[in-house]
Structures are given as C-alpha cells and as structure tokens.
Structure 1
Amino acid sequence: MMLLWLKFILTCLLLVYNVHSYQILGLFPMASISHHILTTKLIEGLAEAGHEVTMVSPYAAKNVPKHWKYRDIVLDGVDEKFQDYLKTMNLYEMDKANPIAIMRQMSNIMSEIVNNTITHPKMIELTNSNEQFDALIIEVFHLDALKAYASIFNCHQILLSSAGPSSWVNPTVGNPQPVSYVPHMFSGDFSKNLSFWNRSKNLVFYLLDYLMITFFSNSLQDDFVKQICSDGPSVSELRTNASLVLLNSHTSIYPALPLVPNMVEIGGYFIDPPKPLPKDLQNFMDNAKDGVIYFSMGSNLKSKDLPEPTKNGILKVFGKLKQRVIWKFEEDLPNKPANVLIKKWCPQADILAHPKMKLFITHGGLLSTTETIYHGVPILAIPVFGDQPTNAARAEADGYGLKFHYLDFTIEKFESYLIELLNNPKYSQAVKERSKIYHDRPMKPREAAVYWVEYIIRHNGAPHLRVAGRNLVWYKYFMVDVFAALLVVFGSLVYVVKLIVKKFCCRSMKSDRKQKVL
C-alpha cells in the first residue's frame, strides 16, 4: 500500500514538473570563448531548472547531465571562419584605429556571422522543422536579423546583453540613457561627474552609434531578415519587440543607471562555486607564503603576442617579487624566474578564489572584472581595446585597482603599480567592500535569470512591463516636435507684439506731428 502511495506522489510531482517545463531556443552564433561562457551558463541554468532547451552555437556542449532536456545544434565551421579572421588582425593595435572604422568593422564581422548562421544547413533544417518554442533568447551584439526567428517560431523574444545598459540595448526597450551622465561603452571615462569635454565626446559616440545603425547596419540586417522569412517584419519592428533584457551587470560592478521594468540585472550569473584546483596549481598556491599574483590577458588576446622586450621586462619584474606568479601563457618560457609558473590554460575563477591570492593582472574584460569583485581581489588592468578601457577606468574610480592602457605600457610603470597595489591595503579593502555588495542580493543571479525567463513565458510576453517609449521616434521621444511648436507659437507672439507696438508707435508719431503743425 505504501509503495502505491509513493508511486502516486511521484507521478503527481512529475506532472507538476512537466507543467512548468518550457521549450526554449538559445541562438548564439558568436564565435568567442568569453561570449560562449555567458550564453552557455544561461542555457545550462534553464536546463537545470527542468526546461527543454535547444542551444545553437559554434561549440559543442561538454559533460551534459543525462537528466537534462538539452539539445545541441553545432554550427560547424563558424568558429574556424572567425578564428581565420582574427589571425588577420593585430588586436594589440586595434585601439589605434579610427572609432568609425572600428564600429563599421564590428558591424561587418557580425553581419558575416549572421550570414553564416542563417545559411547554415542545420539552421535551415531547424527553420523548416515546424518545431514550437516558448521563447527565443539571443545576444544583443549587432545580430538584429536573428530576431526574425521569434516570428517564425511564434515565440517571445528575450535578449541577453553581455554587458550592462548600452546604446545597443537601451533603444530596444525604451530605456533612458541621459548622455550627461551615462557614459558610452567606448568612452573610456567613468567618473561620476563628466567634464564638458567628456560629455561632448560622449554625445559624439552616441550619435555615431545611432547613425551607424540607422544608415548602415539596418539595411544589411533587413536583407538578412528577408532571407530568413520573406514576409517577416522589418528590423526596426523586431528591434523594439523584446519582452525581456537580461543584463550582465550589477551595481557592485557598474554605476547606478536607470532601468525600465523589463530590464533585469543578473551580473555574475556565469560564475560557478569554486572547485578544487589541479594538483600542481594547488601545491604552487598553498606553498606561497607571501601570496600569489595571477596574470591573464583573456581568451582573445594572447600573451605570446606581446613584444619580446615587453615579455622579458615583465619576467624581470616578476623575478624581483617575493610573491609567486601564475601567468596564463600560450607557449613555454624557458627564461622564466623560479617564482613564475606558466600555464597554457587556467581555471581563472578557482584561482581567484584561493585565499593566497593577492593581485590579478588583467586586460580588463568584463568577465574578469566581475570575477575579481566576486572573489574580492584587487586588479592591475592593462586594457587594449573595446570595453576594456572603460572597465579599467571604473575599477580605478571605485578604488579596487589601477590601470594604464597597453599603448602607454612601460616596465617602470608596471613595476611601480605592482608595488603600490601589493603594499597599500586600501585596494584590497575597497574590492572586499564591493564583493559584499555583490553578494548581498535577494536571490542568486542565475536563479534570477531563470525566474524572469519563466515569468515572461507565464505572462505571455509580459506586455505590462514594456514602456511606451520603445516605439517613439526620436523627435517624439525627445519632445522635439513639442519644443518646435512652442518655438513657433512664441515666435508668432513676438511677431504679433512687434506689429502691435510698431502700429501703436506709428499712430503716436502721427499724433505728435499733428500737434506740432497746429
């Protein structure tokens, strides 16, 4: 009898479980390890919550638990094409380029990725499969044409922003972005009170973004939409049809910024609890009586591509330190000092979690910056391109790091900054305070991401969260038509008053003349 009751209860639980299981399509063709980490962790969180997920990306999933309802659709060849393109570029020289040229180049790269995605046989097969999904999740990164798949599968559109609020994502949901104090992603200035010069520069970046999207990117994306769905909506319509935006940001990392109701901060959701280190790393760190420094330039930048004098100078500085150093380096360094350990790959978050960690030398990528706040480790940021200078400036402004741009790099400056960060406790204190703010949240960020995706599906796209501003054209949003009308009315009044005064003055003068004649 007890066994029958147990089976009945389990059956009921399974029925309840299945009622709340949604079908979710994650379309993430961006061929970049850092972006893939973000997208994978989101999809894994949804699969772990019991949803049936389909992950479309250039990479195959690893170690997927058998109980997950998880399907991989690997876009073969997309990563290879992207890596071949990267080989033609010197990333360490990118920041010397004209900002307009960089924006246009980025748009062209992403257009190529969109084209490779929509023409891929596996994507065509999925499009023709007549499958049904409850939600489509895509990344906000000049991939607007892919939003057309939400129309094809008749599902809700959810956006993932790899950064915080930006000029790319704000207009999609009508989020305010006052240029006077909301710095552009590439402005490089994150002081609380922007100077006149920086506000002017900020305005130029925002205008460049708007003009590039309106007059260059939109036409390219519209052509892709027609290839996906001949009678599909325009990119302008698709861009403002998002039900939810998940932001990889948090006020412990970003400055306080305005957010409309359907924008949710989940910054740090990609970070897993610390795992045991490989034996060699564990022993190296455990036996470091004066602490450990970790040095990594991220996944796209390669330390081996640094100039030889720079590499040799860095090793010379490391050799003077009493701390041990782990350097993520892509090849062997035979002339390294005894206190330096070279590793081609490192479990970065697990290294930062070690109690002997003293300092993180980083390129200033957002994932690395978030991990350092999560674990409470100060940084020396050496940014190269993209949002790295902005992230580095923010770390310095918030007191948990120092920064100097790669193009300003000197061995003397590098050594003096290391000594300052290692010997002055204020940086460690500042980052530990930031870490407290990060962890003091009502729910874990990955749980929040799952909750809000489910919320959007439960409430049929949650239209009650959308603000009217997302559909307003710029002259209505900024009240230009109202101000123009007021200007016309005011000008008309001035003109009428001028005529009346002129007429009155003329009559008065005529009256004075008559009196003089008499």
Structure 2
Amino acid sequence: MCRIKSIVISLWILACATKSLESAKILAVFPFTGPSQYICVQSYLRTLASRGHEITSVSAFPQKTPLKNFRDITLQIEQSHHDESVINAIGEMSESKLDQMKMVKDYILLTSLVILKNEEFQKLLHSNEQFDLIIIEVFCQDSLYALGHHFKAPMIGVSTFGTDVVIDQLVDNISPVAYVPAPSGKNLDRMNFWQRLDNLVAYTIELMYNHLVIIPEQQRYYEKYFPNATVRLADVRRNFSLLLLNQHYSFSWPRPLVPSAIEVAGMHIDHKPSKIPDDMEAFISASTRGAIYFSMGSNVKSAFLPKHTLQEIMNAFASLPVNVLWKFEKPDLAGKPKNVYINKWFPQPDILAHPKVKLFITHGGMHSLIEAVHHGKPIVGMPVFYDQDLNVQKAVSKGFGIALNFRNFTSTELRDAILKVLNNPTYTERAREISAIFHDRPMKPLEAAIYWTEYVLRHKGAPQMRVAARHLNFLQRHSVDTIAVLFGIPLLLIIFITRGAYKLIVKFFTCKEPAHKKRKHD
C-alpha cells in the first residue's frame, strides 16, 4: 500500500510540475566513448523526448530505431583507439598517481577533439539554431562547457560516476577532505590521520593537475573552436544550473550537497525487468544451487585479459558447483569449462534481477555497483582502475561484498571468495538491506532527474538554486582575506606593543647612570 501511495504521489508531482511547461529544444552532448556512460542517460533522454521535448543528442551511440522528437549527431569513434586506451589504463593504473592522471588527460583530450572536429557538430555551432537547454556530460571537458554561453541557454551537467573535487567546483559544492574520499583513492569516509593525509595528497594532486595541465589544454580548445567567445573559461565552467549525479548515500556515504547537485543513481534501470533470452534462462535454471554472473563491464573487455589471468578464472569456475554466465567478447574461449556460458553481451539488469542469480562478479564500475544494489545482489569485486577500487571497498564496508586484487589473484582465492559469499547468507541479507534503503526515496531516480530538468526549464535556469560562491574568487570563497584580517590585526597589535615595550626597556637601562660614575662625580 505504501509503495502504491509513493508511486501515485510521484506521478502527481510530475503531472503538476509540467502543466504550464511548453516543449523545449534540448542539446545533449555526451563525449565519452564508453557505452556504459551513454546507457546511464539513455532512458533519461528518451523520457524527455516522450514528454514532448525535442532532443538533439551528440554521442557515439545513435538510436537503433528512429524516435519521435529525437535527432542524433553521431560521433565517429575509432574503436581500436578506445580499446588501446583501456588496455593502457589497465597497466598504468598500477603506476603512480601522476601516471594515472596523464592517462585520464590523454583520454579526455581525445574525446574532446572527437566532438569539436565533428563536421555535423561544427555546422550546428555555426547555424542559427537555438536551444532552451544544454545537457552535457561533465568530466574535465571544460571547453565544451562553452555551449551554454554560445547558445545562451542554461546548462545541466550529468556525471555518470558521481562527483569529485573538480566536478564539485562546477556548482561550488564543497568537498571536506577530512571525510569525503577522493574517488581515485582507497579510503572510506571514516579515516585515521594517515588516511586523511593520503586523501589530502590525492585531492591536491587532482586539483593541481586539473588546473595546471587539463584546463590549460581545454583553454586552447576553447579559444580555437569558440573564437567569438567573450566570457572567460573560468566563468563558463561555473555556469551550471544543475548537476545530476550518478551516486546515492545508501551505498556510499552522506556528504554535503548544494541544492543544485541532485543524486539520481539508478535512473537508467527500468522498473520492471524484461524476459531474458531462452538459452540464458535455460542455463540459469539448470543450476540447482543458483547461478553466477561475471562481467568486467563495457570498457574493460574480458578478451583483453592476459592468458594467465583467463586461465586462473577458468580454473576457479570449473571447480564451482554452480553455473556461471560470463560476458566474453569473443565467440570462442579455448578450454571453457562446461558450467560456463559465454556471450559478448548480456542484458545485465535483467540477469541480476533473476531470482536464481546469487552473485555478481564485477570490476566495480559505478553502473554495475548501482545495478547490484538495485537488485540486492552481493558481489565479488576485482577493481581495475580509477573509482572502481573505492566502489568495491564501499561494498566490502557495507557487508555485501568481497574484494580481490585484479592484478594478482589465484584460482583458489577466487573460488574461495565466491564460495564464501554463496555459503554465507549474511552477504545476501546485507545486500537486500542496502537495496531497501536505496529504493526508499520520495521519487524514483528517473522521475527526480526529469522533475529537476524541467524545473530548470520552468525557472529560466533556476538562479535561485545557485550558491553565491560562484561570484567570489578563491581567497574570498575560502575566507582567506577575512581570516587574515581577523588574526592579522591582533598580531600587529601584539607586535606593536612588544616593540614599544622593548624600546622602553632598552631606554630604561641605557639611560640609567652607572653607580661608579655617580661616585666619581661626587
């Protein structure tokens, strides 16, 4: 009854909110080449189109069948370049923090240029077409944030992996370093002194690298591709009306968020699971003790893994008393165990929704973790790079997951981790508890994303949601000037008084005539 009431209230809110809203022209720009990033927003954009808004989507993933009110500008991505970047990342993410940042920078520059050099996109920039709203993926693509000023339209940013200290700056959110972990680190929100120090170092490196390396590169793109721009890039990047964040405190931690930063984790997941293909259904059902699903995500393909790693995985799976569905991108896998079903693609949310699927072995990508939480499934995590390590640590700390070292594990360790989760009901129970918290919201995440998007449209950019920090410089935002005055004046007074007292003491002792000289005069 409560769930039905919640659905009715949500629908009523959306219906009331859009009574006076006319259809809008929306430009949606998603430069990342990984399909999981676009999957995160696909339902969101399609829903906006179904509500009468005209969508122009710039991405590498056009709609397979034409949709009403939906126009695609397709980016031509060289898949081999993307795969090469991922393979390099697998190796470089075990190196230093600066090596990791360099890999991210190279990838960002590639995706920025893919859009800026696109012929159809350039025609759009130089046309007379107008838009009411810009929706853009935010991940250090600062030159593209000029689209809001270029089209004189408010901007909404979508972060498909949540927020960090750099993304927070776009809406002047705060990231208290003492208890908000850097996504690329390994610390949770409750840190001891050394962990807080490590977190501070991670934050500092990310900020400095972004402002000293990434932003200067984006500045050059901004000047080249937006030559008539009259606004500084520093102001352009702080001109967001709203951020939609693919995160939720139920499986991470509570943290400060300004009104214009909205958590919408799970907005890409359909409420009702679809029927899975018959052959997959038969394979799952044939396993009397349940089945396991294994995927390294859309970017890190299992086919990329070294031969010895593949062999350790197959040895572990062969020793299990359950069937395993494995997302493997090649049609054949030499030595594949009989209890393993491989396919280059699985309907992951529908697989995880299956009651007989008992465990998810994952790389720990944000979307995979959200889907595991949504469906209440425990995980065995093997993180590869960037935020995946921290994502898996979240699952471990919440009690619904076990972590393995992706670069150094044996078949025995993998088998033992799997059996530990399967044989200990605590992991599943905890996964279901977290899932219940995740679902307990006044509005479903997609409904919330639509509501706040149309809120920005209704209120012409919703300036009432923006904090005043966007009008302050660095010293003012961090109260350096006022703190300097507050502590500076007393310090000057102390110095002045001390100096005066010193002069008086010196004068007293130098002016006093010695006793032997006084007797001589007598």
Structure-2 separation of matches of 1:34 and 1:420: 29
Match of 1:206 in 2: 203
User: Which range moved further: 317-326 or 363-372?
Assistant: 317-326
Please report the TM-score for the alignment, with normalisation by the length of structure 1. Answer: 0.91
Match of 2:187 in 1: 189
Deviation at 1:499, TM superposition (A): 2.5
Structure-2 separation of matches of 1:308 and 1:324: 22
| 1:23–1:51 contact (8 Å) kept in structure 2 | yes
- Return the letter of the residue paired with 2:224: Q
Deviation at 1:410, TM superposition (A): 2.3
- Return the letter of the residue paired with 2:464: H
| 1:366–1:388 contact (8 Å) kept in structure 2 | yes
Q: List aligned pairs for 1:276-425, cutoff 5 A.
A: 276-331=275-330, 332-425=332-425
Match of 1:137 in 2: 135
Deviation at 1:137, TM superposition (A): 0.7
3-state SS of 1:204 partner:
helix
Deviation at 1:383, TM superposition (A): 0.4
| 1:183–1:189 contact (8 Å) kept in structure 2 | yes
Assess, with a 3 A threshold, how the Cα gap between structure 1 residues 483 and 135 changes in structure 2: closer, same or farther. same
Cα deviation 1:149-195 (Å, max 9, x = unaligned): 222211111100112221121111110111111111101211x3212
Structure-2 separation of matches of 1:28 and 1:355: 34
Cα deviation 1:105-143 (Å, max 9, x = unaligned): 322321222222112110111112211111001111121
What are the ranges of 5 or more consecutive residues in structure 1 without an aligned counterpart?
1-12
- Return the letter of the residue paired with 2:490: F
Q: Say yes or no: does 1:60 pair with 2:62.
A: yes
Structure-1 separation of matches of 2:338 and 2:370: 30
Assess, with a 3 A threshold, how the Cα gap between structure 1 residues 51 and 109 changes in structure 2: closer, same or farther. same
Number of residue pairs matched?
499
2:103 corresponds to which of 96, 102, 105:
105
Match of 1:248 in 2: 246
Structure-2 separation of matches of 1:319 and 1:229: 57
User: Which range moved further: 447-456 or 332-341?
Assistant: 332-341
Deviation at 1:79, TM superposition (A): 4.3
Match of 2:441 in 1: 441
Deviation at 1:509, TM superposition (A): 4.8
Assess, with a 3 A threshold, how the Cα gap between structure 1 residues 452 and 82 changes in structure 2: closer, same or farther. farther
3-state SS of 2:166 partner:
coil
3-state SS of 1:137 partner:
strand
Cα deviation 1:77-128 (Å, max 9, x = unaligned): 23447436437x4443132222212212322321222222112110111112
Match of 2:430 in 1: 430
What are the ranges of 5 or more consecutive residues in structure 2 without an aligned counterpart?
1-14
Structure-1 separation of matches of 2:19 and 2:474: 45
Match of 1:9 in 2: none
Deviation at 1:473, TM superposition (A): 2.5
Deviation at 1:392, TM superposition (A): 0.7
3-state SS of 1:168 partner:
helix
| 2:157–2:240 contact (8 Å) kept in structure 1 | yes
User: Which range moved further: 379-388 or 192-201?
Assistant: 192-201
Please report the TM-score for the alignment, with normalisation by the length of structure 2. Answer: 0.90
1:47 corresponds to which of 39, 46, 49:
49
Deviation at 1:431, TM superposition (A): 0.8
3-state SS of 1:416 partner:
helix
Deviation at 1:504, TM superposition (A): 4.4
Aligned-pair Cα RMSD in Å: 2.2
Deviation at 1:40, TM superposition (A): 2.1
Structure-1 separation of matches of 2:324 and 2:450: 38
Q: Say yes or no: does 1:226 pair with 2:223.
A: yes
| 1:24–1:53 contact (8 Å) kept in structure 2 | yes
Deviation at 1:470, TM superposition (A): 2.8
Percent sequence identity over aligned pairs: 36
2:112 corresponds to which of 111, 114, 118:
114
Structure-2 separation of matches of 1:287 and 1:480: 66
3-state SS of 2:240 partner:
coil
User: Which range moved further: 365-374 or 323-332?
Assistant: 323-332
Deviation at 1:425, TM superposition (A): 1.3
Cα deviation 1:227-268 (Å, max 9, x = unaligned): 332121222111100011011111122210100011111111
3-state SS of 2:380 partner:
strand
3-state SS of 1:243 partner:
strand
3-state SS of 1:78 partner:
coil
Structure-2 separation of matches of 1:430 and 1:63: 40
Cα deviation 1:309-366 (Å, max 9, x = unaligned): 3322322222222221111112322422322212221111111000011110000000
User: Which range moved further: 365-374 or 226-235?
Assistant: 226-235
Stretches of 4+ moved more than 6 A in 1? 510-516
- Return the letter of the residue paired with 2:217: L
Match of 1:490 in 2: 490
Assess, with a 3 A threshold, how the Cα gap between structure 1 residues 381 and 435 changes in structure 2: closer, same or farther. same
Structure-2 separation of matches of 1:346 and 1:84: 20
| 2:24–2:54 contact (8 Å) kept in structure 1 | yes
